[in-house]
Chains A and B, each alone.
Chain A
């Protein structure tokens, strides 16, 4: 299939999601939700490989994006320093997106997936509490929690649709994406869960070693991603998908840094 075709799928799906969540008052007040295109392209990857993407597939993909949108929107509540009304509407927007994903799956209907997704959301919130509760975690515990938080929804969907082989790759790609975001918010002087972990985790890391440690973790996971890409024998055209383009940028960066 052509890159143009995959772009069309992306655009159609984004439009479909925006149509689903359209609420003039809500979005005038808190802003139009931003769809994570990297995540969306990862969700589309198995369909890209199959060269087939039906309306039903689109509903499944939209569901996964909506749930993530719901969870991410709620994530903004505590950090939100905007007005009280903004906070109120942010809470309700997340609840609204949650209701919508349940409605889509009920309309399909796919009760089994509702169960799997519900379980994934339980797990995600348990891990969120775990890493925010100030417990001293090891690096592997922390990264495990972060992996679940970022990928439990997508991996539940992949498993449900029979794309089990994509799960390890999805986990690693989303973990790196999250680590990258953590570094960005830290660089901007905001709170970062990762850098908080570096400071307060079981193996306390000196501030001067933060970046080195970050790079070493990302490099290790990137190598695992490269291995997965080879294992899955992904065609080179997949490099054009947003989730991979940033990954290959990173690989080039590491190659240049030696």
Chain B
């Protein structure tokens, strides 16, 4: 089943978001427009706008109002991807060359900054200080999380708490805030706003853990990058923590470095996959998913609630 089928009743509004995204990145400066379009046309799941729209459905839904938050969140996500590609020196994203590879780092930096500014411009249509406080806090935390990720690279003695805090900031917060902002924009009750924030947070945690599992179990074709890439870059993820409990495997993992030969890395990946690390990580991911679904329990029955539930399950079980 395709993800889009889980919220097919939003089709018209999602198309509107897509059109608005095209309008948002329109610039009189050809190079800037082309670079932004280059990323936009590469597609993406647009999961953040979907969460914004579905969450707004728990209140007074007005697409003309809520689309501003949805577009802003997707633009912030896109801006962070453009800068991430500079950080990671990535040549490919979503099957296309990255902006830094197609043009250069400078164009990528300007494009990312431009997209971020466009995002804030859209946000300002929402005349609610609380919405801005929520988003700005999340953005600062997101940056702190990204910095921590670099600080923690190849630091094999870090705690699991470090990992959870990192993925909270890196992934879960923006999804949590997408849900919360949807509810705030729809003027849902404070209790629903809080529940949707928590729902997004738990889904985000499950999503990232699944992502970290797939880094070992996915194929290069599915992932769009070689398997074990995160570990090679020094990112200590949940499966790695569990795998390191085996002393022999742990000692091998601690020797991972950027220039490690492919065969040596493959041996470690095989070791991690054969161990119980994947299964245990999946269990943690499932636990977050259950917590996410619990948050929806008290929400009145609606198409939106069903979609949020189905998307959460889909994300938790996705294979790539």
Contacts and interface: CB of A to CB of B under 8 A. Distances in A.
B284 interface: no
B136 interface: yes
Contacts of A98: 113, 116, 139
A87 B80 contact: no
B290 interface: no
B133 A106 contact: yes
A167 interface: no
B24 to A, nearest CB: 10
B86 A91 contact: yes
B151 A25 contact: yes
B8 interface: no
A78 B142 contact: no
B61 interface: no
A74 B108 CA distance: 10
Nearest to B110: A125
A175 to B, nearest CB: 20
B109 A77 contact: yes
A71 B110 CA distance: 9
Interface string B94-126: 000000000011110111111011101101100
B32 A129 contact: yes
B147 A125 contact: no
A91 B150 contact: no
B123 A114 contact: yes
Interface SS of chain B:
helix
Given A77-B86, A85-B150, A91-B87, A122 B132 contact: no
Select the residue from B110, B123, B135, B137 with max chain A CB neighbours within 10 A.
B110
Contacts of A125: 32, 110-111, 113-114, 117
B127 interface: yes
B117 A115 contact: no
Interface residues of B, number: 43
A155 to B, nearest CB: 16
A121 interface: yes
B118 A118 contact: yes
Given A26-B147, A118-B117, A109 B106 contact: no
B147 A100 contact: no
A114 B120 contact: yes
Nearest to B35: A129
A91 B140 contact: no
B257 to A, nearest CB: 13
A84 B87 CA distance: 8
B29 interface: yes
A84 B89 contact: yes
A121 B133 CA distance: 20
B166 interface: no
B118 A122 contact: yes
B147 A99 contact: no
A92 B132 CA distance: 21
A13 B129 CA distance: 25
B144 interface: yes
Contact of A92 (B104, B105, B150): B150
Nearest to A132: B106
Contact of A89 (B80, B110, B136, B147): B147
A95 B124 contact: no
Contacts of B143: 92, 95-96, 99
A133 B27 CA distance: 15
B260 to A, nearest CB: 16
Contact of B139 (A75, A85, A102): A102
Contacts of A84: 89
B263 interface: no
A153 to B, nearest CB: 11
A84 to B, nearest CB: 7
B42 interface: no
Nearest to B143: A96
Contacts of A111: 124, 127, 129, 132
Given A96-B143, A98-B139, A133-B31, 8 more contacts: A71-B113, A91-B86, A94-B113, A96-B140, A99-B140, A109-B129, A119-B117, A121-B113
7 contacts: A75-B109, A102-B136, A103-B137, A103-B140, A105-B132, A117-B120, A118-B121
